[in-house]
């Protein structure tokens, strides 16, 4: 991966963080902006785009489907939409790299096409479950084959999908989004119900492209056959990337640390609530809201060091904090008392088994903990040990451990960090600017 070739980081122990920072564009929103822009009629202009490997994999896949994409700058994209029925058969399997969101949402885009396609990815993605998306799409009439529920995903396109009413068995924005995307090209009405809300970027963005969505209580409905109109989109900075600095600030910001222009969609900001329950000093300063209906909310977030106390995490808050739990466990490791997270079995099927990866790291850091089938129990420690940590090729595990160095007694060496470029290109320089003593080896 060209943007972050480093295989390993060395992070000096201790130190502080302060200053004003921003982080790259939101990954979830950047993927969706590309896909909806491709399905729209007319041009879509995206600014604040995440120039990271995951979103670039989506862009390449769309180009292989005949979509014209220009990049006037690294964070700007101009898409010449092909329309819901305007994609072309790809010449080869589409390689989505490390990007689970790209593969799952593209299944919804590709199932109703008049051509066949095959989706593959890197070693991590080839191990991840895709059946959860295939099941509702098959109920709609899609023809999809996998290898024991995992990629390669082979799609025999059919333009004859039918709307269904699907109740999500697990909170998953990726499954919800794939069903909605397929629903655009299906006959009749597609309905999706979720017991606990998952991130709603797809719904918000469909509105920006002129698609009518109906809300029937907790059920979301969309009439098939609608067209999308190209639009202009501003992607906010990624709360999930800001999360590393929010926790860093709680642990080591003697002077305030200000994170600017951060997306604060309430389906994403569970970490804020968890840290505040632990006693964090975090202030959210909302930016003037855009007048577009259901636009993504954005804020500047200010954080100062505070003494954190362990908590029991309410299971209902887990979906809104799912990608931030690795760094949340670092906060728990530095808090006084015990922290318990349950209801987070989904972490076992992310880019790595994040519960196992964090438990292994906590052992190296000398933090008492217990790995549970669906969570982790942690007893906070006064200071962490130094040592060699394994990120398991998982970007969020690597960055979470880098934050842990702020409370370590000896340096940390974090292996296998190249995939940080999937979500946070420039992490090392941003972390240095914040005050971490981090070096790519
Ligand atoms: C995402 C949804 C979440 C999240 C992932 C991005 C999305 O996954 O963990 O990083 O952009 O829709 P699930 O749908 O599996 O919850």
Q: What is the pTM of this model?
A: 0.97
Residue-wise pLDDT tens digits, 237-264: 999 999 999 999 999 999 999 999 999 9
User: Which residue, by CA, sits nearest to atom 11 of ligand 1?
Assistant: 28
Residue-wise pLDDT tens digits, 398-423: 999 999 999 999 999 999 999 999 99
Instruction: Provide the H-helix boundaries in 10-117.
Output: 27-39, 53-64, 100-110
Active site residue 323: yes
- Mean pLDDT over 149-163 rounds to 98
Substitution site in 174, 201, 239 for ligand 1 pocket (most atoms within 8 Å of beta carbon): 174
**CA 322 to ligand 1: nearest atom:** 9
Instruction: Provide the H-helix boundaries in 285-426.
Output: 325-333, 354-364, 395-404
pLDDT at 291 (0 to 100): 76
pLDDT at 2 (0 to 100): 39
User: Which residue, by CA, sits nearest to atom 5 of ligand 1?
Assistant: 101
Cα 336 to ligand 1 centre (Å): 31
- Mean pLDDT over 318-332 rounds to 98
Report the chain's C-alpha Rg in angstroms. 21
Residue-wise pLDDT tens digits, 219-243: 999 999 999 999 999 999 999 999 9
Active-site residue identified among 26, 95, 323, 353: 323
Residues 194 and 166: beta-carbon distance below 8 Å? no
Substitution site in 103, 178, 322 for ligand 1 pocket (most atoms within 8 Å of beta carbon): 322
Say if residue 304's pLDDT is above 80: yes
Cα 283 to ligand 1 centre (Å): 26
Helix (H, G, I), strand (E, B) or coil at 190: strand
Burial class (CB in 10 A: 0-12, 13-18, 19+), 373: exposed
Substitution site in 31, 99, 199 for ligand 1 pocket (most atoms within 8 Å of beta carbon): 199
- Mean pLDDT over 42-56 rounds to 98
Backbone angles phi, psi at 390, to 5 degrees: -110, 125
Say if residue 3's pLDDT is above 80: no
Residues 370 and 341: beta-carbon distance below 8 Å? no
**CA 175 to ligand 1: nearest atom:** 14
Residues 394 and 354: beta-carbon distance below 8 Å? yes
Cα 266 to ligand 1 centre (Å): 15
**CA 28 to ligand 1: nearest atom:** 11
Between the alpha carbon of residue 377 and those of residues 171, 253, 337, 402, the distances in Å are 22, 26, 11, 21
pLDDT at 289 (0 to 100): 76
Cα 226 to ligand 1 centre (Å): 25
Say if residue 163's pLDDT is above 50: yes
**CA 240 to ligand 1: nearest atom:** 10
User: Which residue, by CA, sits nearest to atom 15 of ligand 1?
Assistant: 172
pLDDT at 1 (0 to 100): 39
Which protein residues touch ligand 1 with a CB less than 6 Å away?
Answer: 28, 101, 172-174, 177, 198-199, 322-323
Range 279-318 burial, b when 16+ CB lie within 10 A, else e: ebbbeeeeeeeeeeeebbbbbbbbbbbbebebbebeeebb
Substitution site in 102, 130, 131, 173 for ligand 1 pocket (most atoms within 8 Å of beta carbon): 173
pLDDT at 218 (0 to 100): 87
Residue-wise pLDDT tens digits, 364-402: 999 999 999 999 999 999 999 999 999 999 999 999 999
Query: How far apart are the C-alpha atoms of 390 and 354, rounded to whole Å?
Result: 11
User: Which residue, by CA, sits nearest to atom 4 of ligand 1?
Assistant: 323
Cα 399 to ligand 1 centre (Å): 18
Two tokens, residue 141: 């009439």
Cα 326 to ligand 1 centre (Å): 15
Cα 406 to ligand 1 centre (Å): 28
User: Which residue, by CA, sits nearest to atom 13 of ligand 1?
Assistant: 172
Residue-wise pLDDT tens digits, 21-31: 999 999 999 99
Across the chain, mean pLDDT equals 97
Other CB atoms closer than 10 Å to residue 176's CB: what's the count? 25
- Mean pLDDT over 78-100 rounds to 98
Task: Name the band, by pLDDT with cuts 50, 70 and 90, for residue 294.
Answer: confident
Cα 173 to ligand 1 centre (Å): 6
């Amino acid at each position: 991966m060209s943007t972050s070739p480093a295989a390993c980081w060395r992070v000096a122990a201790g130190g502080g963080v302060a200053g004003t920072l921003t982080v790259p564009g939101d990954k979830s929103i950047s993927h969706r902006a590309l896909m909806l822009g491709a399905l729209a009629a007319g041009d879509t202009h995206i600014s604040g785009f995440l120039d990271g490997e995951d979103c670039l994999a989506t862009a390449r896949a769309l180009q292989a489907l005949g979509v014209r994409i220009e990049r006037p700058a690294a964070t700007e994209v101009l898409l010449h939409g092909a329309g819901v029925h305007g994609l072309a058969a790809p010449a080869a399997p589409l390689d989505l790299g490390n990007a689970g969101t790209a593969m799952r949402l593209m299944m919804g885009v590709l199932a109703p096409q008049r051509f066949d396609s095959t989706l593959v990815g890197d070693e991590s993605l080839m191990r991840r479950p895709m059946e959860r998306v295939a099941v509702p799409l098959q109920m709609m009439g899609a023809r999809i084959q996998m290898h024991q529920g995992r990629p390669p995903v082979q799609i025999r396109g059919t333009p004859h999908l039918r709307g269904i009413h699907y109740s999500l068995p697990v909170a998953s924005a990726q499954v919800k989004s794939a069903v909605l995307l397929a629903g655009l090209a299906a006959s009749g009405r597609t309905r999706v119900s979720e017991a606990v809300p998952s991130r709603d970027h797809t719904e918000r963005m469909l509105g920006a492209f002129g698609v009518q969505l109906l809300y029937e209580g907790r059920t979301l409905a969309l009439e098939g056959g609608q067209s999308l109109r190209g639009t202009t989109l501003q992607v906010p900075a990624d709360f999930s990337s800001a999360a590393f600095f929010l926790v860093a600030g709680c642990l080591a910001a003697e002077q305030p640390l200000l994170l600017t222009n951060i997306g604060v969609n309430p389906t994403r900001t569970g970490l804020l609530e968890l840290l505040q329950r632990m006693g964090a000093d975090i202030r959210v300063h909302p930016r003037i809201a855009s007048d577009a209906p259901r636009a993504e909310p954005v804020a500047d977030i200010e954080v100062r060091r505070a003494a954190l106390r362990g908590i029991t995490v309410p299971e209902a808050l887990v979906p809104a904090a799912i990608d931030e739990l690795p760094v949340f466990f670092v906060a728990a490791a530095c808090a006084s008392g015990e922290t318990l997270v349950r209801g987070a079995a989904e972490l076992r099927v992310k880019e790595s088994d994040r519960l196992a990866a964090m438990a292994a790291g906590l052992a190296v850091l000398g933090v008492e903990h217990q790995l549970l089938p669906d969570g982790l129990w942690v007893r906070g420690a006064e200071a962490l040990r130094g040592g060699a940590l394994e990120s398991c090729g998982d970007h969020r595990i690597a960055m979470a451990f880098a934050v842990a160095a702020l409370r370590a007694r000896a340096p940390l060496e974090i292996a296998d960090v190249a995939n940080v470029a999937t979500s946070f290109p420039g992490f090392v320089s941003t972390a240095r600017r914040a005050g971490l003593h981090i070096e790519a080896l």
